[in-house]
Structure 1
Amino acid sequence: MNEFDKMRAGHSYDPKAPEVLAVSQQARELMAQLNHNPHADGGMLCRALFDQFGEASYVTPPFYCEFGKTVSIGQSTFLNMGVTMLDNAEIHIGNNVLIGPNAQLYTPSHPLDYRQRRNWVTICKPIIIEDDVWIGGQAVICQGVTIGARSVVAANATVTKDVPPDTLVAGSPAKIIRHLTENESREDIKRDD
């Protein structure tokens, strides 16, 4: 297992290993093309940047990530402008997901012990966003979190724990506001926000 594979799996790794630096460099080059060339083929760039990029999915520039190859995006998924992913571990985004502007997904964290932080010790855990999730603008999804299918994360929420399917969460840290029902109308969601 090389250092990039160790990182991706959440194990201790050398961030200066050539294979880690190469993937990061490739991601920076592809993001530069995506973010600074309005005439570029965004779908082609996203297929090169990400591990998987589903049919009819779209990323609105600017977009930021560290590696790209640790991110899988399903079909018909939309990432609005300014989304940032610290993707040291895997990020799996399902089908029909909407992610609002300036949302942030963080797979790495650091120890509380300052002596370990001096050595830049990093602990990485994956993020999973299941099908049909809506994440509001400026929401933060922390490491190790799974957002259950059909759930809604309100704007500015900070999600530090798993969100069950069919749930509306809000706040910092995010808390369950209520469970969603089948065929919920947009008006019902507005009344609860």
Structure 2
Amino acid sequence: MAGLTEKEKMLSGQLYYSNDPVLKRDRDHAISKTRAYHNLPPEATKARLEILENLLGSCEPDVEIVPPFHCDYGYNLHIGHHFYANTNCVFLDCAEIRIGNHVFLGPNVHIYTANHPLDPELRKQGLENAFSVIIEDDVWIGGGTIINAGITIGRGTTIGSGSVVTRNVPSHVLAAGNPCRIIRHLAIPPRNTPVS
């Protein structure tokens, strides 16, 4: 049986060589698609959606990403309904980034799935690995926030601007800071509350 490709290693969280030609080709494709997206006029909503549908792993028709934005691959980024990302957001999607419904990102939010070994000898070899990020429904992430690899942010949570999220954040809290910590718990709305 043949060994795993570098792409298969990347997607399974194992150490892999990011300079692999297939992965480089995939990253170049993402750069080309995002460049085309950035060059469209604001009123070209249909053309923008077509690019996102061809670039991303999955997204809904009501997705709105204000250009410019960056993603490493695109195909590992999955976005739910009523998603909004303000300008200059970065998605390092070496592993899956799963974003739920009604999620809002302020400007300059960075989501990193990429991880590098602590051992400098492994780093010198060009090895890295990646761990998924999950953002559940109804989350608001303030501008300038960094979300590190392997993080889950629970439903209904707000992350304050400029936070560095290094640990999982539970549902229905306000959290902020570097490192990000819980400021207070938020009221959980009744399930029959209509969402506009």
After TM superposition, the score normalised by the length of structure 1 is: 0.89
Match status 1:28 vs 2:34: no
What is residue 93 of structure 1 aligned with on the other side?
Answer: 99
Aligned residue-pair number: 184
Percent identity over the alignment?
36
Distance 1:178 1:8 in 2: 35
Q: 1:8 aligns with which of 11, 15, 19?
A: 11
Q: Does the CA contact (< 8 Å) of 1:6 and 1:13 recur in 2? A: yes
For each residue in 1:116-141, what CA deviation from the matched residue of structure 2 results, as whole angstroms up to 9, or x when unmatched? 22122212111000011000000000
Give the CA deviation at 1:114: 2.0
Match of 1:110 in 2: 116
1:1-34 CA-partner distances (Å, limit 9, x unpaired): 5432321221222323333222212111100001
Equivalent AA in structure 1 for residue 13 of structure 2:
G
Give the 3-state SS of the residue equivalent to 1:53 in structure 2: coil
TM-score, normalised by the number of residues in structure 2: 0.88
Q: 1:122 aligns with which of 116, 120, 128?
A: 128
Matches of 1:5 and 1:45, distance apart in 2: 25
Structure 1: stretches of 5+ with no match in the other structure:
184-193
Structure 2 alignment gaps of length 5 or more? 190-196
Partner residue of 2:144 out of 138, 149, 152: 138
Q: 1:171 corresponds to which residue?
A: 177
